[in-house]
Structure 1
Amino acid sequence: MSGAAKWWDGRPWREIQTNLREIDMVDIDAERFVADLQEFKANVVMINTAGIIASYPTKLPYHFQSPYLTGDSLEDIIAACHKADIKVVARTDFSKVRRPIYEAHPEWAYVSQKGEIIDYNGDVHVCLSGDYQQIFAPEIIKEAITTLNFDGIFFNMGGYQVKDYSYNYYGICHCDSCQRRFKEMFDAPLPKVEDTTDPLYAKYLIFKQRMLKAYAIKMHEVILGVRPDIAIANNFELKEGFIRQESNTALDRPLPHWQYSASENTKWAVSSYPNMVSSNTTVDFIDYYHRHVTVSPFQQKLRLAQNLANGGGLDYYLMGRLDNHEDKSGYEGIKEMFHFHAEHEQEYLNLSSQSTIALLKGSSDNASEYRGWYRFLTESHYMFDSLVVQNALNLSWDKYQAIIIPDYQPLSDEFVARLDAFAEKGGTVIAVGRSGFQDENFNARTTAPLQSMGIRKLQSVRENNQSAYFKLDHKHQFPRFPVSELIYLDSHYIFAAYNDQVESYFKLIPPHMFGPPERCYYTQTTDHPAFTVHPYGKGQGIFIPWKPGELFYRQGYVNTSEFIADLLEHVAGLVPIQGNIPPMVEVTLFEQKERASTLLQLVNGTGHFGVTFYAPVAISDLEVKLPYDKAPQAVKSLVTGEDHEYQYTEGQLTVKLNQLELFEAIKIS
């Protein structure tokens, strides 16, 4: 379909996933199904189709036929959806097979190091390396998409699964196929445990990357070979179709709740794959254990507002059908956001972010450090993109003033060289912690990777720094600390020798006595810095030899966030959106391309309190100050339809908001 128009290009995206259970097919009514979708103004729906269970009459002996197909057929449902201009995505799951299929082909199963399979309620885990996924799943896909007129396809639970639905952990698969393929690739046995310090496990990570890439290519060749008009979810080799992610919760997941889940998922998708649709779903239920009770309705609505504010589509995922769902408490807010988007859908097409900062992300990242920096930037109102390492080299970096590497360790030589070139041409590179200390194959580098940091020699790392601090100097560049002299440190610190051009900031106070109170004082202040600045070509490199993001994400003290805010503004020279905007309000800025207008959006996160999501507190008398090339003709709210008061003076636009509820979208033209 190369060069031809694709149905998803330029289509406003409002998806609902009805994760249909076997019993939902007993009395499903196609017309009622479509009418329920229309109440939400959904224009894309995802339906369970194939894999573990066939939800249509299959002719394949290795595809388990559902015995519950007594209601309207998938064929009738798809036809009714198409009549209402609703596109239909097939949900598939090839991570498991029903027990009878396994018993006929035990060689397809996942096998633990102990030689055990995973049988969860009669569904047996199968391995991606085995013949079921490599040979027979493509045949099932071909049958499903040629028998039924689907518009898209989604693969659930892809990859190498090591847990069941109760979160029991079973370890690396040791099936014959995995052992053989790994032996062929690396001439070595599989690692026994997932240990990031084990060189053999590093090879296993590469093994999985290569296997998953080859599998994605195989699948899209199979699909597009018979149906070139189909949108494929999460195929990052093609870089087209849609990116499907989840904002979800789990009862035993470590706190805090990630309040920017939908923002972050949408931001990296939109920033890193601009030709793909971002479809981040708000998951209705609390956890696998409790799939029939919804999370807070305000949390659902917040997620959808975050999707829109970051340039993505809308997506809602529930168990069962819309009509028989037993907890509809989230429906009202979800409909409100879907209806708003339907009314203004043209305003959300062909957007381009006005971000000047890039934050690196990837599959091997330090999630806590990354999330801490995400909070630093969001809550100080910097306009930033999130770039995934896997595709960042394929994108232009010309619009960015700074790129931040939040302790992202495995970077290729090519990536490191491009970061140095970015600094040399005038950009600021901020490297945190062990950024780049490994190559892309997870091999440790013996020398400092980034020339732009001015590090002459890496010396050592001290892991435990409890009771350590940094003594402030250069206080004129840190106005947020008028009466504070210390920044507290925890976790590791990297000792290094720097070249003569490097300027060091602050002085490390090493761990010292903290009890009893009578002996709680320090006697030593060193010259080891909290961060360094190194002029490099027309730009600079800033090195932070510890992990402030991880510390802030875990503890949240302003001692850390205000340090970063001053560093970004008064050392890196970066300028945030100004005004009297509270940290709990997220601000984004997009150009509406080809319309000579700008979309300013604000999301009120004040409803997030502790571990609960309530209705946000309305905020009055806000002012947003942003650079703007010329005086606008109009500043109008898409939410209320009313004009906003504004002022324009010498390249700065001040927009005034009388009141902010959950969400505001302001068109400046």
Structure 2
Amino acid sequence: MASWISEVYRKLHLDYHQPPWMEGVAEAFTEAEAQRQAKTFKRSGIEAVEFFAYDHYGYAFYPSGIAPVHPGLKNDYTGLMSKALKAQGIRTILYLNAFTSVEMRKLHPEWMRVAEDGTMPRGAWLQHEASHICIASDYLEAFFFPLLREAIARHAPDGVWIDAGSWMVEHPCYCDNCSRRYLEDTGRSLPAGPMPAPSEELDDEAWIRWRIWRRGLIAPYLRRLAETVKAVSPDTLLAENNAGKYLYGIPHVERGELVKWLAPLELGLDWLSCDPVHFGANHEMTFSREGRYQSTTGLPFDYMNERFHGWGEWQMRPPTDWKLELATVLSVGGRFFFADQPHPDGTVEPTVYRHLREVHDYVKPREPFGHGAEPVPDVAVLASLPSQLIGPMAGPEWGRDQAWGVAVPRSRTDRVDGASMLLSEAGIQHLIYDEETMRRSLDRQALVIVPDQMLMEDETIEALERYVETGGTLLVSGRSGLYSERGERRAADPFAKLLGLSRGGELPAPLHYWQAGPELAASMANGDLKLQVWGAAMQVTLAGAEALAHVLEPVESVWAEGVKDRSHWRHYTTVGAAPAGKTDAGPAVTVHRYGRGRAMYVNGEPFALYYLEGHRLTREWLVRGLEELYPAASRRLDADKPLHVELALQERRTMEGAELLVHATNYFAQKRPGYIIHNEEVPPIFGIRLRVRTKVRPSRVTLEPERTLLNWTWDGERVHVELPRLDLHAIVRIETGAGEGMREEERAGNDERQGDDG
């Protein structure tokens, strides 16, 4: 059913939120203007357009019989756009907002979200109080689903894209609907506020129960959303903004009890779609790491990038940025979704589409290499869905002076994001998996990394035991698995047998140092230096594992009166760090042979710390640990390249056999003091050397889409190839079966380029 969404690469989103005071809405959007825009989109290479039917303010842009029509609307924006796009053969996608409205309080105050103090908060980014609708109310059945049916029946779209839905269901609500339903489902009253801080959340059973219940309302909403769409039009496809991301896990809850955390394939959506970069930020990093997860879900997916620095403005970023962003999405298996914002009168700026045509001309010859291509498993990073939502933030929880300078924002996802950043910089092929998806693909992984995933399922830990016992390799960090997927502290360390050690309580200090043993120190350029590691560390008792490094506590004098707790920690240097002391607090890095495989434990949160700081010494330690478990010579992909060049490995079957595709993207941002990132001038990189493991000797290696033959050799296990120049994006195509269409002169030229051992 989702075939067309898989084949369409170039989509356009027209962001068109209009506050109630706006006059002349769509005033210039006549039938002739709609036709002009549709032709402009067609010339720009756009294959599908998403346009507004119902916006964040709660207004329809067509003559709805259900929703309030925008008071300043002059023309049927939705209807005219739909008709004009279809006349040009462009796919149509309707945009509807779910849970925000500035009008609904007047019509149905009982549907609004209520804070504990009785006030009605604003929804999403709106500046209007009382604009956040509660998912637990009758709103969906009484208003939204009828509106959705009307919009689909009237405009017959190819797709529907719902915004301000599942990602709005997180905040506490004390409306009568929530109180009644929570009591019915759990037999309990809503927990009294305030909501606990993340560092205290796992100690508050009432709030964990409430959070899981609250998020448990999302799955039935998505199911009814899909049923509503398909009942009107079975061929209309459905996406729900940001649903299906590893940082927005959705549980299946029955009668207040968690049944399981749902994999994206179980959500009832036809494709996954996200606007993940809200206010500028780093598109390439976001698209890369989130795409490395969504490419494992079994669903088509796309990401929005945009013309502006942040949503809701009319600036224009460099088209070089756009090209690099689209290339990044393609390299991880996704599709494109460019966002523009029409002026209130409905017009768009032609300059944007001249540049977009240039960008699409750049990516179009690259798109055929996405058809049928699948990411290659090699190193798996586990993103436990509840671990992204419940429990302490990643990295230093306290001890540092956050008021001095600029405090670095922290997130639970920094652990997974840091692992992905490290692997990308190291040139290691990796994908990100939720627990259920990873369990199904463990037999294809050479290494699994569990980066301080505190909440985990028993089935996952048992599967990892079998995986290592039969020859797999595993790296576990920090407090991984000490809590169940329900947020309950396990009585014993579930990884004890596998890791050859037992973890107890947390060490008291917020800061520790790792000191390498003689053998490990000798293998690192800076192995004689102690590594400063902020964040929680554990009391560890060895039970068969070998310690490669040890944890040193900070100097004893940092504790007032010798009492080691948070209230007695004393500020030491400018931002709070204390030097290493002499007290050995236990192992920092261990290895343990288990069955035919090996497991490593690292005591702390180095992946989160690396994401927050990117320190070269942290990278040196982690890369050395990866080499210990999974040497570069054994990896599916290995390379000599700068840190900022990212590689992604895909494979696909062709009429002629099989092929491997190595995508290389050249991320090179200008220096900026703030949040806005630009890749406007990207200097070329020369002489990147790739080594790709193959089962058979290749028949041809080319640079695509230029179809340039490359020099290569094969050592019986790996292809060695040099990428002579990388500008923004390059695809190295390694064919393992000679194509029927290969010309004799190409065969001869290819033979000449193979070298003596090719």
List per-residue Cα deviations over 1:584-630 (Å, max 9, x = no partner): 10001111223512211101112354554232221122222222233
Give the TM-score of the pair, scaled to structure 2. Answer: 0.79
Report whether the alignment pairs 1:143 with 2:185.
no
CA contact (8 A) 1:127 1:133 kept: no
Report whether the alignment pairs 1:281 with 2:285.
no
- Aligned residue for 1:613? 678
Q: Distance in 2 between matches of 1:295 and 1:162?
A: 32
Q: Distance in 1 between matches of 2:375 and 2:386?
A: 23
SS at match of 1:233: strand
Residue 474 of structure 2 aligns with an amino acid whose one-letter code is V
- Aligned residue for 1:493? 537
Aligned-pair identity in percent equals 19
Q: Distance in 1 between matches of 2:218 and 2:101?
A: 20
Report whether the alignment pairs 1:460 with 2:505.
yes
Structure 2 residue corresponding to 1:376, chosen from 404, 422, 428: 422
- Aligned residue for 1:425? 470
Cα separation, partners in 2 of 1:452 and 1:590, compared to 1, 3 Å = farther
- Aligned residue for 2:753? none
- Aligned residue for 2:710? 644
- Aligned residue for 2:248? none
CA contact (8 A) 1:491 1:546 kept: yes
- Aligned residue for 2:253? none
Structure 1 residue corresponding to 2:374, chosen from 342, 347, 352: 352
Higher mean C-alpha deviation, range 119-128 or range 658-667? 119-128
CA contact (8 A) 1:134 1:215 kept: no
- Aligned residue for 1:315? 337
- Aligned residue for 2:391? none
Give the TM-score of the pair, scaled to structure 1. Answer: 0.89
- Aligned residue for 1:168? none
Structure 2 residue corresponding to 1:98, chosen from 95, 102, 108: 102
Residue 316 of structure 1 aligns with an amino acid whose one-letter code is F
- Aligned residue for 1:30? 34
1:249-648 residue pairs with structure 2 within 5 A? 249-250=278-279, 257=282, 259-271=284-296, 273-274=297-298, 276-288=299-311, 291-295=313-317, 297-320=319-342, 324-325=347-348, 334-361=356-383, 362=385, 364-365=387-388, 366-389=412-435, 391-393=437-439, 395-454=440-499, 457-466=502-511, 468-473=512-517, 475=519, 479-481=523-525, 484-499=528-543, 501-512=544-555, 524=582, 526=584, 528-573=586-631, 575-576=634-635, 577-595=637-655, 596-607=658-669, 609-610=671-672, 611=674, 612-614=677-679, 615-648=681-714
- Aligned residue for 1:54? 60
Higher mean C-alpha deviation, range 420-429 or range 147-156? 420-429
- Aligned residue for 1:246? 275
Matched positions, count: 642
CA contact (8 A) 1:244 1:280 kept: yes
Q: Distance in 2 between matches of 1:74 and 1:470?
A: 61
CA contact (8 A) 1:14 1:338 kept: yes
Report whether the alignment pairs 1:185 with 2:214.
no
Cα separation, partners in 2 of 1:477 and 1:627, compared to 1, 3 Å = farther
Q: Distance in 1 between matches of 2:364 and 2:283?
A: 28
Cα separation, partners in 2 of 1:359 and 1:535, compared to 1, 3 Å = same
SS at match of 2:586: coil
Q: Distance in 2 between matches of 1:516 and 1:600?
A: 46
- Aligned residue for 1:16? 12
Higher mean C-alpha deviation, range 216-225 or range 415-424? 415-424
Q: Distance in 2 between matches of 1:302 and 1:355?
A: 24
Cα separation, partners in 2 of 1:558 and 1:524, compared to 1, 3 Å = same
Cα separation, partners in 2 of 1:567 and 1:200, compared to 1, 3 Å = same
SS at match of 1:25: coil
SS at match of 1:371: helix
RMSD of aligned alpha carbons: 2.9
Q: Distance in 2 between matches of 1:406 and 1:477?
A: 23
Residue 488 of structure 1 aligns with an amino acid whose one-letter code is Q
SS at match of 2:217: helix
Q: Distance in 2 between matches of 1:283 and 1:442?
A: 38
CA contact (8 A) 2:546 2:590 kept: yes
Higher mean C-alpha deviation, range 348-357 or range 5-14? 5-14
List per-residue Cα deviations over 1:417-461 (Å, max 9, x = no partner): 222222222212222111112111111112112255335543220
1:190 positional shift: 2.0
Residue 286 of structure 1 aligns with an amino acid whose one-letter code is H
Residue 536 of structure 2 aligns with an amino acid whose one-letter code is H
CA contact (8 A) 1:96 1:123 kept: no
CA contact (8 A) 2:446 2:630 kept: no
- Aligned residue for 2:45? 41
Residue 498 of structure 1 aligns with an amino acid whose one-letter code is L
CA contact (8 A) 1:478 1:563 kept: no
CA contact (8 A) 1:302 1:662 kept: yes
Cα separation, partners in 2 of 1:321 and 1:41, compared to 1, 3 Å = farther
Higher mean C-alpha deviation, range 505-514 or range 372-381? 505-514
1:470 positional shift: 1.7
1:28-177 residue pairs with structure 2 within 5 A? 28=29, 29-50=33-54, 52-60=58-66, 63-71=67-75, 73-99=77-103, 101-118=104-121, 120-121=127-128, 124-159=131-166, 161=168, 172-177=172-177
Q: Distance in 2 between matches of 1:212 and 1:570?
A: 43
List per-residue Cα deviations over 1:92-145 (Å, max 9, x = no partner): 11212232x421211011111111113534872211111112432111111111
Structure 1 residue corresponding to 2:234, chosen from 228, 236, 247: 228
SS at match of 2:334: coil
List per-residue Cα deviations over 1:544-591 (Å, max 9, x = no partner): 220001111122111001111110012344645333211110001111
Residue 284 of structure 1 aligns with an amino acid whose one-letter code is R
List per-residue Cα deviations over 1:616-666 (Å, max 9, x = no partner): 221122222222233333322224342223223322212222221111122
Higher mean C-alpha deviation, range 193-202 or range 140-149? 193-202
List per-residue Cα deviations over 1:69-111 (Å, max 9, x = no partner): 5446533422332333321111111212232x42121101111
Cα separation, partners in 2 of 1:212 and 1:183, compared to 1, 3 Å = same
Residue 592 of structure 1 aligns with an amino acid whose one-letter code is R
List per-residue Cα deviations over 1:32-60 (Å, max 9, x = no partner): 22122223312121111136111222122
List per-residue Cα deviations over 1:184-238 (Å, max 9, x = no partner): 2222222323322421110122112321111111111121122111111146334
List per-residue Cα deviations over 1:495-523 (Å, max 9, x = no partner): 12231x21111122211169799xx9766
CA contact (8 A) 1:477 1:566 kept: no
